[in-house]
């Protein structure tokens, strides 16, 4: 079946150039990068090249990059490192709209005795900066805030937040898993202490991530084991995937302009086409400060899951803002934190594009989706045209 894949914030296709770069490291060059022999050393040098490419893409030094198993591991490692380095501090701070990788870890830490603050957002998903500033205390060990929201694409002003937090002697981590590759990024200019990224969101494979740790930031490993990653993350490296991620970073650097022009253009066309054709539909999130590839649209009085199922029959892959938990449809915590009304939060769909989407695909969605919404509304007891 041909699929129209507009779910790139969930995961992305591995770029053909990335696959090509990885293949020799499954077969011919299977050596362990830590081995003393020349064969392993050759692999070690390729690993170092991938580190240089990943670092260059975000404006870091190679030795500031630690390869991990995924974005979630990078987030966990950063937050655990920050609290372990400041054992006397018992307050940690994040936002109400974080990905579960951070949100659930904060909830876990709150059960372990940490005082946690979840900063609210407004109706557009923008962070309450005043609340943030007021919540920073001498007891705060770490502030972890996402750069871009995975559901709405809304960007937090990381360049403004990082100095505000660091000036108070607090460690600042950002989950940039969705932002990397979609907007230009320079960790030095932004002034962050730690930053998480994930391979499978930037056309590299699943199961590889990286954590940037600014030189001088206190760090302690999460995975304790061998001397890999200079003793900062034990475990033999996922060599082929790391090499793939290095290549993906190079490609993403070349594609940034395409993201901000072509992908943004397709996203805007899709958004306008659907809003024009479907009454009682609206975009969730700040339309100005947003990733170029993401739109989250609510179609009132229909269930997101039903829309997804009907789109799925046509091969259209997207995501809904509600998750089916224990039989009941629970609207996403992000849309709830934004105060999106219940009737709209339930019918929200996230479309997230990539450089591989075409104009024909966007036209196909604009043609097929409005009749689906109309049909579902006919069946809804709440819908009044
Ligand atoms: N953080 C954000 C904002 C994400 O969107 C995701 C994945 O969707 C993650 C973290 C987790 O990344 P991974 O799937 O690599 O663990």
Q: What is the pLDDT tens value at each position of the chain, 385 positions in all?
A: 689 999 999 999 999 999 999 999 999 999 999 999 999 999 999 999 999 999 999 999 999 999 999 999 999 999 999 999 999 999 999 999 999 999 999 999 999 999 999 999 999 999 999 999 999 999 999 999 999 999 999 999 999 999 999 999 999 999 999 999 999 999 999 999 999 999 999 999 999 999 999 999 999 999 999 999 999 999 999 999 999 999 999 999 999 999 899 999 999 999 999 999 999 999 999 999 999 999 999 999 999 999 999 999 999 999 986 555 445 567 899 999 999 998 899 999 999 999 999 999 999 999 999 999 999 999 888 787 7
Q: Answer positive or negative: Cα dihedral of 151, 152, 153, 157.
A: negative
State the CATH class of domain 16-254: alpha beta
From-to residues of CATH 3.40.640.10 in the chain: 16-254
Total number of residues shown for the chain: 385
- The preferred substitution site among 95, 99, 153 for testing ligand 1, maximizing ligand atoms within 8 Å of CB, is 99
User: How many degrees, rounded to 5, is the angle at CA 208 between CA 5 and CA 18?
Assistant: 60
Q: Whose CA is nearest to atom 12 of ligand 1?
A: 71
What is the per-residue pLDDT for 2?
Answer: 85
Distance CA 128, CA 205 (A): 35
Burial code (b: 16+ CB inside 10 Å, e: under 16) for 6-26 equals bbbbeebebbeebbebbeebe
- Both structure tokens of 126: 């923008």
- The preferred substitution site among 179, 201, 202 for testing ligand 1, maximizing ligand atoms within 8 Å of CB, is 201
Reduce the DSSP state of residue 301 to 3 states and report it: coil
Which H or E run includes 132? helix 129-135
What is the per-residue pLDDT for 325?
Answer: 46
Ligand 1: atom nearest CA of 74 is 16
Q: How much distance in Å is there from the Cα of 78 to the middle of ligand 1? A: 14
**Centroid of chain to Cα 92:** 21
State the CATH class of domain 4-12+256-378: alpha beta
Q: Whose CA is nearest to atom 5 of ligand 1?
A: 150
Q: How much distance in Å is there from the Cα of 207 to the middle of ligand 1? A: 11
Distance CA 40, CA 35 (A): 5
Ligand 1: atom nearest CA of 200 is 15
What is the per-residue pLDDT for 385?
Answer: 77
Q: How much distance in Å is there from the Cα of 345 to the middle of ligand 1? A: 21
Q: How much distance in Å is there from the Cα of 230 to the middle of ligand 1? A: 25
Q: Whose CA is nearest to atom 8 of ligand 1?
A: 10
- Both structure tokens of 308: 């997804």
pLDDT digits (tens, 9 = 90+) for 157-198: 999 999 999 999 999 999 999 999 999 999 999 999 999 999
Distance CA 112, CA 70 (A): 24
Q: Whose CA is nearest to atom 13 of ligand 1?
A: 71
What is the per-residue pLDDT for 1?
Answer: 60
* pTM > 0.95: yes or no: yes
Q: Is 344 exposed, middle or buried (0-12, 13-18, 19+ CB in 10 A)?
A: buried
- The preferred substitution site among 198, 203, 294 for testing ligand 1, maximizing ligand atoms within 8 Å of CB, is 198
pLDDT digits (tens, 9 = 90+) for 227-239: 999 999 999 999 9
Contact 228, 242 (CB under 8 A): no
Distance CA 16, CA 11 (A): 15
Q: Answer positive or negative: Cα dihedral of 160, 161, 167, 173.
A: negative
Residue matched to tokens 């989407």: 357
Ligand 1: atom nearest CA of 73 is 16
Instruction: Give how far Cα 114 sits from Cα of 18, 91, 100, 376, 385, Å.
Output: 41, 6, 18, 46, 50
- Out of 70, 249, 317, 324, the active site residue is 324
Q: How much distance in Å is there from the Cα of 328 to the middle of ligand 1? A: 24
Reduce the DSSP state of residue 41 to 3 states and report it: helix
What is the per-residue pLDDT for 326?
Answer: 46
70 is catalytic: no
Nearest CA-CA partner of 53 in 217, 277, 251, 268: 251
- The preferred substitution site among 8, 14, 67, 72 for testing ligand 1, maximizing ligand atoms within 8 Å of CB, is 72
Nearest CA-CA partner of 196 in 172, 222, 221, 174: 174
Q: How much distance in Å is there from the Cα of 181 to the middle of ligand 1? A: 14
Q: How much distance in Å is there from the Cα of 365 to the middle of ligand 1? A: 26
- Both structure tokens of 44: 């070690």
* φ and ψ at residue 312, rounded to 5 degrees: -60, -35
- Both structure tokens of 214: 């600014």
- Which residues have C-beta atoms less than 6 Å from ligand 1? 70-72, 75, 99, 101, 146, 150, 175, 177-178, 198, 200, 209
Instruction: Give how far Cα 304 sits from Cα of 321, 339, 347, Å.
Output: 7, 17, 4
Strand partners, 297: 283, 349
């Amino acid at each position: 079946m041909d699929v129209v894949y507009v779910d790139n914030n969930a995961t992305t296709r591995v770029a053909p150039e990335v696959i090509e770069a990885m293949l020799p490291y499954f077969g011919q060059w299977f050596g362990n990068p830590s081995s003393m022999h020349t064969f392993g050393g050759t692999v070690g040098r390729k690993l170092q090249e991938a580190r240089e490419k990943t670092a260059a893409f975000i404006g870091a030094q190679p030795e500031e990059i630690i390869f991990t198993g995924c974005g979630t591991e990078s987030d966990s490692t950063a937050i655990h490192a920050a609290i372990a380095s400041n054992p006397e501090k018992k307050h940690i701070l994040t936002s109400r709209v974080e990905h579960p990788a951070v949100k659930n870890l904060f909830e876990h830490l709150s059960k372990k005795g940490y005082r946690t603050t979840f900063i609210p957002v407004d109706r557009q998903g923008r962070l309450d900066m005043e609340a943030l500033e007021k919540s920073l205390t001498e007891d705060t060990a770490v502030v972890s805030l996402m750069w871009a929201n995975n559901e709405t694409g809304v960007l937090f002003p990381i360049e403004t937040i990082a100095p505000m937090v660091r000036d108070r002697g607090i460690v600042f981590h950002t989950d940039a898993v969705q932002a990397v590759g979609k907007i230009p990024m320079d960790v030095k200019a932004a002034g962050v202490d730690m930053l998480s990224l994930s391979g499978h969101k930037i056309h590299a494979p699943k199961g590889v991530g990286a954590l940037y740790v600014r030189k001088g930031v206190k760090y302690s490993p999460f995975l304790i084991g061998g001397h890999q990653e200079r003793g900062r993350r034990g475990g033999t490296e996922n060599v082929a995937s790391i090499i793939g991620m290095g290549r993906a970073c190079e490609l993403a650097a070349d594609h940034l302009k395409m993201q901000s022009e072509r992908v943004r253009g397709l996203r805007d066309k899709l958004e306008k086409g659907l809003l024009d054709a479907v009454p009682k539909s609206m975009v969730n999130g700040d339309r100005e400060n947003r990733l170029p590839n993401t739109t989250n649209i609510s179609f009132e009085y229909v269930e997101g899951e039903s829309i997804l199922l009907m789109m799925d029959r046509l091969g259209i892959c997207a995501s809904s803002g509600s998750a089916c938990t224990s039989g009941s449809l629970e609207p996403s915590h992000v849309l709830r934190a934004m105060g999106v009304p219940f009737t709209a939060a339930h019918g929200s769909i996230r479309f997230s594009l990539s450089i591989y989407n075409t104009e024909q695909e966007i036209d196909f969605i604009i043609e097929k989706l409005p009749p689906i919404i109309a049909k579902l509304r006919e069946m809804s007891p709440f819908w009044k045209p």
